[in-house]
Amino acid sequence: MKLSLGPILYFWNRDAVFEFYQRAADSPVDIVYLGEVVCSKRRALRPEDWIQIAEQLEAAGKEAVLSTMTLIEAESELGVMRRISDNNRFMVEANDMGAVNMLAGRARFVAGPNINTYNAGTLAMLAAAGARRWVMPVELDRNTLKALQAARPAGMETEVFAFGRLPLAFSARCFTARAHNLPKDECGFRCGDYADGMLLSTQEDQAFLVLNGIQTQSAETYNLITVLPEMKALAVDVARISPQSQGTFEVIDIFRAAADGTLDLALARTHLEPYVPNGPCNGHWHGRAGMVWVE
């Protein structure tokens, strides 16, 4: 099973991003997704910078994929999506149907986790448009995956989000700015103050959600390391690890060892505990509430 490193979902400074991908080049991941997928105001890196990083990763033997925005709200954002789609070198991860339509019939692409690929008909449509790989939406369970795998078009790879805070929703409003009583257009890039998002707790002081600009995430960390054998049995090709500010490469090493069978799964889960600050969850995989952990 291959491992992938998803796009950075948070707003990190330029130096931190370059340093992160220098480490990624030396890590045992096979596929690396690059680019801003949450907020177009985050311009620490230009499109040319992402291309440069992609070239460096490719030279290190990785498959580099350029990811598009999930929520397109302005003509300028459409222009960036067009530039990414027209790069003519690297695979593109389409994160909305506008990107799918832009890529259809022109280039092979990845249908990202934010595309509502819920049934065999959608999977067939994406394959006909040129999708080489699809990423299962995080809210789907293993039984739905089994049915989709049975209907999967020939030549289509399957990727599953296996570790990280779950991306739950996107909004035209910026929740981080709102929390600081700032308008979205004058946010001051306050999301940059939260390297792993802004934790939202209940009145009982229980971790509930994470605010990441216009994106809402789970407070718990989705962790499918104990079901890697099930994923293999379902012919999943790629397990995705979502970047976080601390411990990403330790997580990658643990997943690699577990996937290769050199690390016991229960022990692997224990090794991951330092990297799940608000506890793990895996409910969606089991058809349960997403925030719960099922043994």
Residue 187, marked binder: yes
Please check whether residue 205 lies inside any domain of the structure: no
- Reading the block at residue 168, the tokens are 């739950």
Is the pLDDT at 19 greater than 90, yes or no? yes
Mean pLDDT, to the nearest integer, of 215-231? Answer: 97
Residue 99 belongs to a domain: yes
204 located within any domain: no
Spatial distance between the Cα atoms of 20 and 209, rounded to a whole number of angstroms: 25
202 inside domain: no
Number of domains in the chain: 1
Q: Which residue has the higher pLDDT, 46 or 272?
A: 272
- Please give the structure tokens belonging to residue 2: 């291959």
Confirm whether residue 281 is marked as ligand binding: no
CATH code at position 159: 3.20.20.70
The pair of three-digit structure tokens given for residue 256, joined into one six-digit string: 């690699």
Task: Encode pLDDT of 114-127 as tens digits.
Answer: 999 999 999 999 99
Q: Which domain holds residue 81?
A: 2-166+218-286
Nearest to 278 by CA among 226, 202, 191, 208: 208
Q: What is the pTM of this model?
A: 0.96
Which whole-number Å values give the CA distances from 131 to 5, 104, 147, 154, 176, in the listed order?
A: 19, 8, 19, 11, 34
Q: What is d(CA 115, CA 130) in angstroms, rounded to the nearest whole number?
A: 14
Residue 292 resides in a domain: no
User: Does residue 175 fall inside a structural domain?
Assistant: no
Q: Does a structural domain hold residue 278?
A: yes
Q: Is residue 238 part of a domain?
A: yes
pLDDT tens digits, one per residue of 88-118: 899 999 999 999 999 999 889 999 999 999 9
How many other CB atoms are found less than 10 A from the CB of residue 130? 17
d(CA 295, CA 213): 32
Q: What is the pLDDT of residue 43?
A: 87
